[in-house]
Amino acid sequence: MPRITPIPYRKLVRVLELEGFVVARQRGDHMAFTKPGIQHPVVVPRL
């Protein structure tokens, strides 16, 4: 199985925003993104 390469959270946030996700909530060091048609939020830790 290939290794998963970590990326900076800011880069991931940018990719999600380009795909149409918006920040639904931000609490502590986690950001939750939602998009119409997607049932579950995508949670990104800010490290």
What pLDDT does 6 receive?
92
Task: Tally Cβ neighbours within 10 Å of residue 16.
Answer: 17
- pTM to 2 decimal places: 0.84
CB atoms within 10 A of CB 29: 10
Contacting residues for 21 by C-beta, under 8 A, at least 6 apart:
33, 34, 35, 38, 42
**Which is higher by pLDDT, 19 or 47?**
19
Residues 3-46 pLDDT 10s? 999 999 999 999 999 999 999 999 999 999 999 999 999 999 99
The predicted structure's pLDDT at residue 47: 82
Domain boundaries, the chain: 9-45
Q: Is the pLDDT of residue 1 over 90?
A: no
